[in-house]
Amino acid sequence: METVEKIKQQIAENPILIYMKGSPKLPSCGFSAQAAQALMSCGEQFAFVDILQNPDIRAELPKYADWPTFPQLWVEGELVGGCDIILEMYQQGELQPLVKEAAERAKDAEQGE
């Protein structure tokens, strides 16, 4: 599968997805750590892709997303942004409802409602 196809599939299959360096429990950079922490404090499950383990995605995603840096948060197929945007949204109380509603819609879809 081509890298861009893999990226599209990951974004389509995961309502809440963060591309980051490392994992939420073991982040490999401060920006990824802060972004994952904000996301975890929203209390919903989310998927992640460690771009350090996926150099192909690390190379292609910035071009696909038209966003040069990591982490990148994607919610329901839309790029939300990077670390600064994630933290700002979290501090202003905008990230929590966005994540919660996406998680609820995903659960409803799974149950076929």
Annotated binding site for glutathione: 21, 58, 70, 83-84
Output the known binding site for [2Fe-2S] cluster: 29
C-alpha to C-alpha distance for 75 and 79, rounded to whole angstroms: 7
CA dist 52 and 95 (Å) reads: 25
From the annotation, which residues make up the binding site? 21, 29, 58, 70, 83-84
DSSP three-state, residue 22: strand
Which residues, including other chains, have CB under 8 Å from residue 84's CB and lie 6 or more apart?
Answer: none
> Contact 102/96 with Cβ under 8 angstroms?
no
Three-class secondary structure of residue 11 per DSSP = helix
